Amino acid sequence: MITMKDTNKKCGSIRGWLYKAISSRINFEADWIQNHISNCPKCQRRIASMGKVNLALSLIKSQPHSLDLLMRANAQAIKMLKHSLRDCPSAEKLKTILPEPGLFERCAKYRNPITNTAACFAILFLMKAYVFSSMSSCRDQGQKTLKHYYATQAGQDIADEIFPT
Q: Is the pLDDT of residue 26 over 70?
A: no
The predicted-structure confidence for 27-58, as pLDDT tens digits, reads as follows 667 777 788 888 888 888 887 887 777 777 77
Highest average pLDDT, of 18-22, 43-47, 71-75, 143-147, comes from 143-147
Most confident listed range (5-9, 84-88, 95-99, 151-155): 151-155
pTM confidence score: 0.29
Q: Using pLDDT thresholds of 50, 70 and 90, give the confidence band for residue 3.
A: low
As a whole number of angstroms, the distance between CA 15 and CA 135 comes to: 81
pLDDT exceeding 90 applies to what percent of the chain?
A: 1
pLDDT tops 80 at residue 94: no
| 68 has pLDDT over 80 | no
